[in-house]
């Protein structure tokens, strides 16, 4: 189910390793292939007090453990938070991710982590991809993998492993031109 996630997870691992000692970190990885655009959003909640508050809030029946239903509700809530305020566009048209899948990692005394993966069609003639955030959105780290449609030019950010890295805050935008399909 998450076969495509492994390369993305390896891509964002260095960014996660530099996470704050306690807080919420969000990383968005994007890869343009011949006819698809793949997106992975990683949300991590760290810090003992934040994790405790999150699990207490999720434990709806207050029995001290999370049932499957409570865990599923937490996963949906975190997925909404992970995607909140993010807009991805191709040549100025907003895209909608298809086949969205989530995976929640919840272990005692460990950061709570959620990965959201989806993909959308990428027109063969597509030239520009942009990621923008709305005002008030949580900051995020953007990592663009080169894929088969490499980054040719970017509005800002720094080159990284043949792709691009940038940080976005609320009401922010990064765009990049991609090469033609092989």
CB atoms within 10 A of CB 125: 8
Among the listed ranges 8-22, 96-110, 114-128, which one has the minimum average pLDDT value? 8-22
Mean pLDDT for the chain? Answer: 90
pLDDT at 57 over 70: yes
pLDDT at 16 over 90: no
Q: Mean per-residue pLDDT for 35-46?
A: 97
pLDDT at 15 over 70: no
Instruction: Say if CB 43 and CB 113 are below 8 A apart.
Output: yes
pLDDT of residue 2: 45
Q: Confidence class of residue 102 from pLDDT cuts 50, 70 and 90?
A: very high
Q: What is the pTM of this model?
A: 0.87
Q: Which long-range contacts (CB under 8 A, 24 or more apart) does 99-102 make?
A: 101/1, 101/2, 102/75, 102/76, 102/78
CB neighbour class for 74 (10 Å; exposed up to 12, middle 13-18, buried from 19): buried
Q: What percent of the chain has pLDDT over 70?
A: 88
Instruction: Give the containing element (helix H, strand E) for 64.
Output: none
Question: Residue 3 gets which letter from DSSP?
Answer: T
**How far, in whole angstroms, is CA 67 from its chain's centroid?**
26
pLDDT at 14 over 70: no
pLDDT of residue 117: 98
pLDDT at 164 over 60: yes
């Amino acid at each position: 189910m998450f076969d495509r996630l492994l390369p993305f997870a390896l891509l964002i691992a260095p960014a996660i390793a530099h996470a704050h000692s306690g807080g919420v970190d969000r990383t968005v990885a994007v890869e343009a292939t011949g006819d698809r655009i793949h997106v992975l959003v990683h949300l991590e909640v760290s810090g003992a007090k934040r994790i405790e508050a999150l699990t207490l809030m999720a434990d709806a029946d207050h029995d001290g453990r999370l049932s499957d239903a409570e865990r599923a509700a937490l996963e949906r809530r975190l997925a909404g938070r992970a995607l909140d305020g993010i807009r991805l566009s191709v040549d100025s048209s907003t895209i909608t991710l298809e086949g969205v899948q989530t995976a929640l990692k919840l272990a005692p005394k460990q950061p709570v982590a959620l990965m959201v993966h989806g993909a959308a069609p990428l027109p063969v003639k597509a030239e520009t991809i942009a990621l923008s955030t709305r005002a008030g959105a949580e900051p995020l780290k953007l990592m663009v993998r080169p894929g088969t449609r490499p980054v040719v030019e970017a509005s800002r950010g720094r080159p990284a492993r043949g792709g691009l890295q940038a940080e976005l805050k609320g009401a922010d935008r990064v765009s990049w031109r991609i090469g033609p399909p092989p």
